[in-house]
């Protein structure tokens, strides 16, 4: 991708530098031109100004929802999304180009500023923060920086009721904007309201109230920061955090500067500050805002413009393309891409989208904006309906369209109701303006525009009625006259008495506003509660009849109904059946309260049994008998995960029929765990964590809820946080292994990789990669890959699992491996062989995972240290010395007692080197032995009680303890031909004198001492 900035001019600077005015002057100086603006409202304003200059017949207005196209129009005013990809116009301008860094819309701005050019002049307008990235991406570009025409000063912190006239108060949610406007209405006579969700006509009318002096205050979101021309003397921030579509975050200095810069127009200075709800700005931030010094934009959001319409999968792959130019980063999936991902899962969509032109039509349909802010599934269903019409009929079904438009054509209702209808009609305005979508587009364009204007006027009327009232003494006057007070409740739960806000009704709880005291307040509250009694009954009926989609369980243990908390969950003895406590005032009584409680309980039980269906099915299993039933009970009590060592005796005793019956319920017998893989997903893990926290008062414990995003991100291992409650790792599907935690299913995959390495015998052909001498192995790339770990991390993980490391020199390891014969099969093949055997993981190893465990090194609590002085194979070595090689082996009791590795080899008798380790983790549980072993062979190996340990051990698990006299003389066992020779791939050779400095000599000496 080769980009050039030749012929491109960038005019950069802070607000109030006259950039947009300059662009209009430059455009009308050319024979033709096009200008792109970030907001439909701003496009309307610029369109009006250009019409005043050159006449309406020469100017077109093109947005997603509106199109004015005179036949001989020479100039076009567009939103950036509506700008064409190519143009023959002499002049092209793009305003507010710093939005190219925006996560939601940035890729569109990036595409236009990189590729859209005028024949004679191209002009980019925006913040000075774009200078360096423009120079980097568009070599040869001409940069012109313009200073602000007036100065900006910090005025500190003031209460909302003490703000000066001609002030714009900025907040970042509709609820907060409405609450502030209510306060100003009561205290200062009224305020105009501007939100991004309002239609352009409504916003213009509200701004008109302020501009014409009907009110002295404007309450707005950051929508005013995008070029709206207002006579504002002071900007006050009532909030400095906002939700950006992905998360709540603090505004950065550049965003604060864009909004604060609206204070002062032309050569008139302005001020900015904060309200009492926001901490005063620090000196550094104030200085940056006053001098307009902001961090440069480092990267621009980018998405490919080359779409592959050969198939849906091809289109998805092209959308996942990454930029090849430094300074660009692939944008997060926008609304259209999210809709495509959703629709691609529908079989009926896949069946009908069988050729490139239909794939392209599907992508065109996915571009439908989500004005209504509904769920992705609902939005995708609407797109599906439109797409089927376009493919099967050629145009959208106008009967369906007429019905949707008819539903929106009503001007009754409150502010939120009207806003929702405007969002609905904007959707159909967009559809009517899509080329080729309707048989009679002109009719529907006029129809939807007429309805939107009528709804916008009604919304403006409601806003004015609610927030502009100079008679704040009416309420007290009517109280003094003993008049009957009239109370009402709005759609969003605001409770009004005589038009004055008295509190908020959330669910079935009323919270009165503060500030009213004395007998007057009691009279007003009595009127409010009278209205609430009827509302509670109505709400109870609606809740009782509502669907499950209207209810949700939050991570805080609250049950919410359409967003409002209506109940709290409390832990009980049965962890899967928490108790439901209804959150309601005393006005909710009798049958209404019973109906609410019953409906919420049904939802909670349904939700738990659905999300945790495998666990619920297992708890209700009737076909499990004996040990299988007991093991299932333990698995349910432990929410789907058991450490294998904790139930070693039960698992060992469980027959194959019992195992098979449990597997039918999704239970997997792994090398380290007995678990249910279907529960290792974000939704079940989040609910499991909540249920455990409810029972154990864990909602406030460190780490609650912090591990679910890690699981959702697909991380296979993570660095542990010492302050977190350790149980949360297990609940989220991770195994705590000291400094790292690894996902349970990934540990089982690791066991599958290690098993063939310990199963291989010296002298056998085809030595697998990582195998050493049949009882030790080295780490491989495949192990690091599945764990997402570094070599150092791998050491921590293996130690946590109870493996021990022997350190040998690189020369010694190379010489030993050179003596081995055969070629190594791929690890994937070995893993595939393991899976194809038809027996789950450690079941093939004869259940050696926990047949005898040393108590000193439980991986969960105190991971044993292996070879304390042995350097890691992955650690950097001196340039003159080769790195030592770490040979990993299952740990045993002697490791736990001595705390050191065996540098020269394994001191255990030859016949037991391949046995499982003790409870130092479960390093040997994946050891399969030769060939396939089933549970019956495991059970027949023989057991005996070791009084020293208090544990059971298999035949091959007898170590250098007090039972040596039962095993016969050591030389006879060493000469047993049925055992593989140590460190040899060939027949034994004659003894040669050993180098006294060799580790083999030290090993021989140590063996002699043991014999004595």
Residues 234-272: tens digit of each pLDDT: 999 998 888 876 778 888 898 888 888 888 877 788 899
User: What pLDDT score was predicted for residue 2?
Assistant: 55
Tell me the per-residue pLDDT of 690-741, one tens digit each, with 9 for 90 and over: 999 998 888 889 989 898 898 888 888 888 888 998 899 999 999 998 888 8
Residue environment code for 641-659, b if the CB has 16+ CB neighbours within 10 A, otherwise e? bbbbbbbbebbbbbeeebb
Q: Which residues pair with 190 in a beta bridge?
A: 468
User: What pLDDT score was predicted for residue 581?
Assistant: 92
- Is residue 322 within 8 A of residue 351, CB to CB? The reply is no
The confidence band for 523, taking pLDDT boundaries of 50, 70 and 90, is low
Measured distance CA(927)–CA(916) in Å, rounded:
7
- Please give the mean pLDDT across all residues of the chain: 79
User: What pLDDT score was predicted for residue 30?
Assistant: 95
User: What pLDDT score was predicted for residue 1007?
Assistant: 63
Tell me the per-residue pLDDT of 982-1003, one tens digit each, with 9 for 90 and over: 434 444 444 555 555 655 565 6
Give the residue from 132, 122, 131, 126 showing the smallest Cα distance to 6.
122
User: What pLDDT score was predicted for residue 839?
Assistant: 42
Average confidence (pLDDT) over 557-569: 91
- Is residue 456 within 8 A of residue 429, CB to CB? The reply is no
Structure tokens belonging to residue 365: 């349909």
User: What pLDDT score was predicted for residue 94?
Assistant: 96
- Is residue 901 within 8 A of residue 870, CB to CB? The reply is yes
Q: What is the pTM of this model?
A: 0.48
Measured distance CA(767)–CA(614) in Å, rounded:
40
How deeply is 537 buried, as exposed, middle or buried, from its count of CB atoms within 10 A (0-12, 13-18, 19+)? middle
User: What pLDDT score was predicted for residue 111?
Assistant: 93
Instruction: Tell me: pLDDT of 853 over 50.
Output: no
Give the residue from 247, 271, 277, 12 showing the smallest Cα distance to 124.
12
The confidence band for 794, taking pLDDT boundaries of 50, 70 and 90, is confident
Average confidence (pLDDT) over 535-553: 89
> What 3-state class would DSSP assign to 860?
coil
The confidence band for 967, taking pLDDT boundaries of 50, 70 and 90, is very low
Tell me the per-residue pLDDT of 607-621, one tens digit each, with 9 for 90 and over: 999 999 898 888 888
Tell me the per-residue pLDDT of 929-944, one tens digit each, with 9 for 90 and over: 333 333 333 333 333 3
Percentage of the chain surpassing pLDDT 90?
31
- Is residue 572 within 8 A of residue 696, CB to CB? The reply is no
Q: In what order do the strands lie in the sheet with 641-643?
A: 641-643, 673-675, 668-669
CB atoms within 10 A of CB 1007: 14
- Is residue 535 within 8 A of residue 505, CB to CB? The reply is yes
- Between 96 and 946, where is the model more confident? 96
Least confident of 186-195, 509-518, 801-810: 509-518
Tokens 């495509």, residue?
340
For the chain, first and last CA: distance in Å? 77
Tell me the per-residue pLDDT of 137-172, one tens digit each, with 9 for 90 and over: 999 999 999 888 888 899 999 998 888 888 999 998
Average confidence (pLDDT) over 674-695: 91
Tell me the per-residue pLDDT of 83-108, one tens digit each, with 9 for 90 and over: 998 899 999 999 999 999 988 889 99
Instruction: Tell me: pLDDT of 421 over 50.
Output: yes
Phi-psi region of 741 (alpha: psi -120 to 50; beta: other; left: phi over 0): beta
Q: How many helices (H) and strands (E) does the chain have?
A: 35, 36
- Between 649 and 881, where is the model more confident? 649
Least confident of 238-252, 349-363, 535-549, 888-902: 888-902
Instruction: Tell me: pLDDT of 536 over 60.
Output: yes
Tell me the per-residue pLDDT of 429-457, one tens digit each, with 9 for 90 and over: 999 988 889 999 999 989 998 999 999 99
DSSP string, 358-424: HHHHHHHHHT---TT---HHHHHHHHHHHHHHHHHTSS--HHHHHHHHHHH----S-HHHHHHHHHH
Measured distance CA(84)–CA(503) in Å, rounded:
49
């Amino acid at each position: 991708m080769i980009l050039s900035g030749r012929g491109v001019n960038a005019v950069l600077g802070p607000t109030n530098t006259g950039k947009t005015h300059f662009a209009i002057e430059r455009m009308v100086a050319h024979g033709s031109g096009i200008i792109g603006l970030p907001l439909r409202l701003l496009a309307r304003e610029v369109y009006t100004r250009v019409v005043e200059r050159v006449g309406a017949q020469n100017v077109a207005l093109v947005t997603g929802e509106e199109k004015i196209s005179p036949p001989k129009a020479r100039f076009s005013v567009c939103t950036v999304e509506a700008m064409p990809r190519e143009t023959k116009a002499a002049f092209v301008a793009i305003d507010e180009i710093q939005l190219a860094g925006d996560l939601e819309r940035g890729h569109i701005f990036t595409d236009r500023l990189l590729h859209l050019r005028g024949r004679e002049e191209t002009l980019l307008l925006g913040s000075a923060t774009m200078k360096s990235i423009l120079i980097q991406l568009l070599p040869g570009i001409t940069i012109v920086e313009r200073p602000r025409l007036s100065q900006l000063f910090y005025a500190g912190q003031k209460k909302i009721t003490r703000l000066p006239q001609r002030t714009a108060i900025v907040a970042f949610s509709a609820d907060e904007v409405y609450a502030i406007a209510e306060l100003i209405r009561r205290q200062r006579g009224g305020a105009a309201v501007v939100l991004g969700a309002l239609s352009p006509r409504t916003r213009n009318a509200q701004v008109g109230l302020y501009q014409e002096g009907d009110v002295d205050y404007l309450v707005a979101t950051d929508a005013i920061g995008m070029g709206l021309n207002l006579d504002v003397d002071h900007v006050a921030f009532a909030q400095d955090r906002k939700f950006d579509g992905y998360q709540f975050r603090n505004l950065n200095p550049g965003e604060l500067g864009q909004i604060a810069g609206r204070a002062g127009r032309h050569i008139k200075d302005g001020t900015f500050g904060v309200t009492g709800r926001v901490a005063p700005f620090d000196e550094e931030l104030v200085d940056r805002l006053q001098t307009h010094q902001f961090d440069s934009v480092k990267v621009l959001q980018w998405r490919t413009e080359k779409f592959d319409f050969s198939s849906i999968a091809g289109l998805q792959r092209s959308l996942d393309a990454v930029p090849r130019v430094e300074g660009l980063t692939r944008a997060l999936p926008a609304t259209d891409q999210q809709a495509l991902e959703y629709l691609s899962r529908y079989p009926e969509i896949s069946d009908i989208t069988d050729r490139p032109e239909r794939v392209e039509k599907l992508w065109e349909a996915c571009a439908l904006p989500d004005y209504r802010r509904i769920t992705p599934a609902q939005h995708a269903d609407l797109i599906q309906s439109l797409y089927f019409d376009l493919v099967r009929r050629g145009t959208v079904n106008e009967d369906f369209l007429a019905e949707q438009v008819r539903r929106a054509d009503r001007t009754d209702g409150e502010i939120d109701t009207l806003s929702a209808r405007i969002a609905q009609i904007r959707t159909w305005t967009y559809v009517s303006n899509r080329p080729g979508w309707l048989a009679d587009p002109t009719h529907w364009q006029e129809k939807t525009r007429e309805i939107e204007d009528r709804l916008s006027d009604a919304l403006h009327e409601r806003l004015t009625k609610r927030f502009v009232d100079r008679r704040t003494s009416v309420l007290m006057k009517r109280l003094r006259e003993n008049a009957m007070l009239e109370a009402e409740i709005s759609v969003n739960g605001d409770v009004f008495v005589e038009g004055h806000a008295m509190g908020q009704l959330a669910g079935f709880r009323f919270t009165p506003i503060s500030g009213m005291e004395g007998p007057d307040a009691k009279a007003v509250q009595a009127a409010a509660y009278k209205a609430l009694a009827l509302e509670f009954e109505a709400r109870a009926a609606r809740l009782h009849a509502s669907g499950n989609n209207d209810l949700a369980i939050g991570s805080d243990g609250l049950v919410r109904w359409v967003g409002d908390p209506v109940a709290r969950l409390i832990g009980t003895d049965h962890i899967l059946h928490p108790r439901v406590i209804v959150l309601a005032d005393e006005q909710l009584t009798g049958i209404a309260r019973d109906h609410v409680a019953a409906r919420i309980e049904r939802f909670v039980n349904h939700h738990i049994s659905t999300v945790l269906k495998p666990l619920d099915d297992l708890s209700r299993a009737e076909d499990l008998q004996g040990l299988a039933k007991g093991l299932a009970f333990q698995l349910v009590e432990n929410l789907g995960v058991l450490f294998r060592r904790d139930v070693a005796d039960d698992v060992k005793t469980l027959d194959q029929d019992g195992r098979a019956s449990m597997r039918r319920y999704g239970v997997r017998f792994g090398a380290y765990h007995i678990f249910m893989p279907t529960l290792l997903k974000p939704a079940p893990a989040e609910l499991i964590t909540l249920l455990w926290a409810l029972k154990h008062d864990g909602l406030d414990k460190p780490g609650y809820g912090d591990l679910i995003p890690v699981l959702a991100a697909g991380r296979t291992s993570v660095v542990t946080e010492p302050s977190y409650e350790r149980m949360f790792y297990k609940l989220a599907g991770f195994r705590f292994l000291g400094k790292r935690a690894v996902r349970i299913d990934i540990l089982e995959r690791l066991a599958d990789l290690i098993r063939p390495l310990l199963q291989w015998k010296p002298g056998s052909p085809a030595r697998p990669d990582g195998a050493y001498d049949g009882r030790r192995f080295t780490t491989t790339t495949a192990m690091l890959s599945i764990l997402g770990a570094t070599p150092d991390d791998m050491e921590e993980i293996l130690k946590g699992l109870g493996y021990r490391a022997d350190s040998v020199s690189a020369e010694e390891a190379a010489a030993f491996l050179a003596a081995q014969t055969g070629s190594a099969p791929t690890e994937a093949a070995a893993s595939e062989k393991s899976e194809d055997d038809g027996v789950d993981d450690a079941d093939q190893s004869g259940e050696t995972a926990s047949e005898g465990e040393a108590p000193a090194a439980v991986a969960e609590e105190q991971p044993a240290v292996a070879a304390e002085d042995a350097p890691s194979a992955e650690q950097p070595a001196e340039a003159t010395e080769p790195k030592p090689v770490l040979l990993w082996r299952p740990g045993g009791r002697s490791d736990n007692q001595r705390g050191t590795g065996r540098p020269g080899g394994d001191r255990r008798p030859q016949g037991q080197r391949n046995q499982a380790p003790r409870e130092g983790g479960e390093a040997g549980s994946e050891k399969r032995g030769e060939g396939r072993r089933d549970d019956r062979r495991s059970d027949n190996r023989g057991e005996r009680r070791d009084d020293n340990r208090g544990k059971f051990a298999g035949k091959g698990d007898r170590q250098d303890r007090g039972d040596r006299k039962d095993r016969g003389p050591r030389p006879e066992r060493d000469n047993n031909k049925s055992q593989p020779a140590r460190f040899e791939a060939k027949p034994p050779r004659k003894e040669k004198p050993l180098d006294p400095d060799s580790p083999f000599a030290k090993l021989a000496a140590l063996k002699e001492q043991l014999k004595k």
